[in-house]
Amino acid sequence: MNQPDSPRSSVSMVEVGPGQAGQRLDNFLLGQLKGVPKSHVYRLLRKGEVRVNKGRAKPDYRLKDGDQVRIPPVRQSQPASDDQPLPEGLAETLRRAILLEDDDLLVLNKPAGLAVHGGSGVKLGLIEALRRLRPEAPFLELAHRLDRETSGCLVLAKRREALLGFHDALKSGGVDKHYVTLLAGVWRGGPRQVSESLARKGPRTQVRAVTVEEDGKHAESFFFPRRHFTEATLMGVEIGTGRTHQIRVHAAHEGFPVAGDSQYGDFDFNRLMKRLGLKRQFLHAETLRFHLPGHERPYQLHAPLPADLAAVLERLEPLDV
C-alpha cells in the first residue's frame, strides 16, 4: 500500500554536531530528507534553497561542527519503517558476508547484485539493510563504494573518525586495492599500466556513462595477467585511484572489455559467457590493505572468488602462452 505524502510544516534549522562534521552536504541532506527523491534534493541545492550559515553551498561542501543548515519545507514520502525486520534470507546473507569487525570498521564480502545504497529504483541497498539489521548502531556509513554487480571487499565505518581516516588514506594513495576480472580476448604481453583520465557525462539524475577524456579526472589502473584462455584472460588489477567504473572503462579502452559488462562490454562475447553460466559482470574486489590512525597494524582483507565466477573459469578452455 502506498504511504501518504507528509509535508514539512516549516523551514528547519539543523546544527551540525561533531559526529556529522566532515560529511558532504548532499549526503547529509539525503539522510535528513528520507523519502525525498535524490533529484529533488539536488534541485534544492542548485536553486539555493538550502543554506549553510545563511549562505549558499555546493553539494560537495564538507560540513563543520557547529554549521547551521537551513532546510526548506518539502514534501516527503513516508519511507518504509526502519523498524521492519529484514527478510531473514537477506539478514543471513549479510551476517555471513562479514570479513572483519572491530570498534572502527565493518568489512563485508559484498554479494553481487546488491546495490550499496538505495535510490534509482533500488528500494533497499546494503547500507539501509545493515542499519535496519543493527538499529542500535549509533553510526554506520559507507567508506567507499562498489558497483551493484561487483562483489568483494567493502568497508563501512562505525565511527566518524574512522570514516575520515579511511578517506584520508584514499586521497593519499594509502589504500591498496586489488581486483580480479575476466577480460574478453587474449592478452598479449605482460603487465600494463593504463593512465587515462575519466569523466562522467550526462545529467546527475540519470545513469551516466564514464568515458576517457583528456580533461577528466586522473585515473591509473595496473593490469597483470594471471591465466590465459582461448577466448579470455583472467586479470589481476591494482588501482591507484577509485574513479567510477574505472576498471571497466580502462579495460574497454584497451580493447579487452570486462566479461558480462552490459554497459561497456562486447555483446557477442557476453552472449558466449552467458552460455557458460556468467550472469553478471566478472569483477571482484579481492583484497584491501590500508592503515588507520591509532592502529599499530595495517588492515589486510581478502575476499575469496565467489563460486559463480569460479565455476565460469572451470568451463573455459586453457591456453598455453
**What pLDDT digit, counting tens, does each position of 83-118 carry?**
566 778 899 999 999 999 999 999 999 999 999 987
Class of domain 175-315: alpha beta
How sure is the predictor about 121, in pLDDT bands with cuts at 50, 70 and 90? low
Cα separation of 306 and 58, whole Å?
A: 40
The architecture CATH gives domain 88-157: 2-Layer Sandwich (3.30)
Task: Please compute the mean of the pLDDT values over residues 20-41 and round it to a whole number.
Answer: 82
Average pLDDT, the chain: 88
Class of domain 7-74: alpha beta
pLDDT of 42 over the 60 cut: yes
The maximal CA–CA distance of the chain, rounded, in angstroms, is 70
Cα separation of 86 and 92, whole Å?
A: 9
Q: What pTM was estimated for this model as a whole?
A: 0.76
Would you give the end-to-end CA distance of the chain in angstroms? 60
> Of all helices (H) and strands (E), which one includes residue 160?
helix 160-171
Cα separation of 231 and 296, whole Å?
A: 45
Residue 81's pLDDT is: 45
How sure is the predictor about 209, in pLDDT bands with cuts at 50, 70 and 90? confident
> Which pairing describes strands 283-290 and 232-239: parallel, antiparallel, or unpaired?
unpaired
Cβ neighbourhood burial of 6 (10 Å; 0-12, 13-18, 19+): exposed
Cα separation of 89 and 55, whole Å?
A: 47
Q: Three cell numbers at 167?
A: 578517506
Q: Which of 26, 67, 147, 266 is catalytic?
A: 147
Angle at the Cα of 210 from the Cα atoms of 205 and 213, rounded to 5 degrees: 125
How sure is the predictor about 204, in pLDDT bands with cuts at 50, 70 and 90? low
**Is 147 among the residues known to form the active site?**
yes
91 in Cβ contact with 131 (< 8 Å): no
Cα separation of 140 and 155, whole Å?
A: 10
Domains in the chain: boundaries? 7-74, 88-157, 175-315
> Which pairing describes strands 151-157 and 283-290: parallel, antiparallel, or unpaired?
parallel
Cα separation of 176 and 28, whole Å?
A: 28
